Amino acid sequence: MRRWAWVAVLVAVLVVLAAACGGGSDEAAGDVPPAERLERAAAGLGAADTLTFTLVGSAEAEGLELALPGLGGTIQGGEAEVDAEGAVDRPDRLTLTAQVDVGPLAVPATITRIGNDLYLSAIGRDLAIQVPAGQLRRIDPTRLAAALLGRVADPEATGTDLVGDVEAARIEGTLDGEALARDLRAIGLEDAADAVGGALGDSRITAWVGVDDNLLYRLRLQIEERAAETDVARVGGINVDLTAEFRDYGEPVEIEPPANAQRVSPDALAELLGAIG
């Protein structure tokens, strides 16, 4: 497969999308019920003007068939390691730098949003793509994290841990896939709602929420042997273990566009990527 086809795969992962833990205790934390604590954490994600985040983990697809129109190539099966970090400066700035290791292939890329412009930097190229604002609002991993928190079925407080220097309540549960699909449609992710909701349903989720401030500091998603299908991909089984961390709530961040980016229209993007060897 051409190397830019992998960049397109990475963009899809980044859109849909997304550290060390100190000593802990198995005693339940505080008097706040776990469902209410998750609700407060989701609200905190949405209300924060600025924050930073990281995403690390692995994803394995069994029986993966991926077709990218205009880019060429079909992948049969695959395993990937993900290592990403980024920052949000609302209302309209976001940056996300990630490397996805697929077998011997490592694809580093950066996505940056400034206003109504989306920048993609990868393999020595900087592209500026003008995208409708409604679509740009979807490119924010914290929105997906908030949706996940809102659909944890039967959450249970199972103890406390240190995330960095913050004492956090550990809350575990499973995801309500049907309800999550409805949430994704409500925030504009209609095309992915059925596939994502089906793939994530009944998966294990663990959230670490600050005991004192009820902010989300860590979120772990574990998916085992789930099938999914979209317009460009069909997966017989998915095994995912991803951990996101959120920090620096309200702290200043610097997000700037790449200099001298080549401006392209959304319609020309697929053609341009396909033409690059």
**Predicted local confidence at residue 11, as pLDDT:** 45
**Both tokens assigned to 147:** 């949706």
* Range of weakest confidence among 154-168, 222-236, 249-263: 222-236
Cβ-based burial of 12 (10 A; exposed 0-12, middle 13-18, buried ≥19): middle
Is pLDDT larger for residue 264 or for residue 272?
Answer: 264
- Asked whether residue 256 carries a pLDDT value surpassing 90, the answer given is yes
**Predicted local confidence at residue 271, as pLDDT:** 55
Q: What are the C-alpha distances in Å from 253 to residues 203, 247, 248?
A: 33, 12, 9
- Euclidean distance between CA atoms 136 and 105, whole angstroms: 28
- Highest-pLDDT range among 10-14, 63-67, 205-209: 205-209
**Both tokens assigned to 174:** 């499973």
pLDDT tens track for 136-170: 666 777 888 888 898 898 999 999 999 999 999 99
| Domains along the chain with CATH numbers | 3-18+20-275 (2.50.20.20)
Confidence of residue 228 (pLDDT cuts 50, 70, 90): low
**Both tokens assigned to 78:** 């695959």
pLDDT tens track for 74-132: 445 567 788 999 999 998 899 999 987 766 667 788 999 998 888 989 878 898 987 77
**Predicted local confidence at residue 22, as pLDDT:** 33
- Euclidean distance between CA atoms 91 and 145, whole angstroms: 17
Tell me the pTM: 0.75
pLDDT, mean of residues 228-245: 70
pLDDT tens track for 177-191: 777 778 767 766 666
pLDDT tens track for 34-78: 999 999 999 999 999 999 999 999 887 665 555 544 444 444 556
Could you tell me if 48 and 250 are in contact, meaning their C-beta atoms sit under 8 angstroms apart?
A: yes
- Euclidean distance between CA atoms 82 and 109, whole angstroms: 12
- Euclidean distance between CA atoms 211 and 209, whole angstroms: 6
